[in-house]
Amino acid sequence: MSMLRKKVKILTISLSLLFLNFTPINTLSAATFYLKDNIIDNSAGLKTECFTSNSQSGDYCKTYFFSLTLFTGGKFGQLSVGHWRGTDDYDSNNGKCGFKFNGKNARGEMGYIGSSSSKFTACYLSNDTALTFISALLTETRFDFYAPNHKGKVRGENFYTSDLISIPDIVIAGFIHHLAVSAKRTSYSNAYFGHTMMVKASPWKFAKILAKFKYYDVID
């Protein structure tokens, strides 16, 4: 097991415990929508959680898998992806971050998960930049991650898709499920945002998994 894979596993456990105790600010209620078991093998209990705030503009949904979380709605806009790093003892909670791959540079911003009280940090990518990064995960791609140096140490990493994602189909299924649910639970109603780019990245796999979503309502 690679060093990155070990870090992802430890971070996954830590974040799962964190999310169980994290209540979003100004939230009235929350609902959870699970991916159906027949969509992909080993879905790992993938789910989309949606939070209803005091106004529709603040409603948002999130879908978590491995060290990544997709967001739609509220301050996150049409689509954001957070790549979880570690506590603020390990990584900076502000500054530029991103991924270089295939001659591209997907730039983002460091920030906290939820609020500074969580102490966990993440690199956030938004909208088209987030989509470019997610679509690159559909193939075995080398990523050069960069982030601000923290406490005198370099926090960048180099890894391949399979080091970060051990269930390749979960990226496609999670993406489709997240947008389909978010379209019904937030002010962002485009359930097909980014589908064209995802199809170009992996035509056969994306089409095969998307077809399975026609047989059930993501919210039932």
- Is 220 part of a structural domain of the chain? no
- Is 8 part of a structural domain of the chain? yes
- Is 68 part of a structural domain of the chain? yes
Contacts of residue 174, Cβ cutoff 8 Å, sequence gap at least 6: 35, 46, 63, 65, 70
d(CA 112, CA 119): 7
How many domains is the chain built from?
1
Q: What is the extent of the structural domain holding 97? A: 3-215
What value, to the nearest 5°, has the Cα angle with vertex 127 and ends 218 and 179? Answer: 5
Q: Identify the three-state secondary structure at position 62.
A: strand
- Is 53 part of a structural domain of the chain? yes
- Is 115 part of a structural domain of the chain? yes
Q: Say how many C-beta atoms besides its own lie within 10 A of residue 190's C-beta.
A: 13
Instruction: Kindly report, residue by residue over 63-85, the tens digit of the pLDDT.
Output: 999 889 999 999 999 999 999 98
- Is 56 part of a structural domain of the chain? yes
Instruction: Kindly report, residue by residue over 101-154, the tens digit of the pLDDT.
Output: 999 999 999 998 866 667 889 999 999 999 999 999 999 999 999 999 888 787
pTM of the model: 0.85
- Is 118 part of a structural domain of the chain? yes
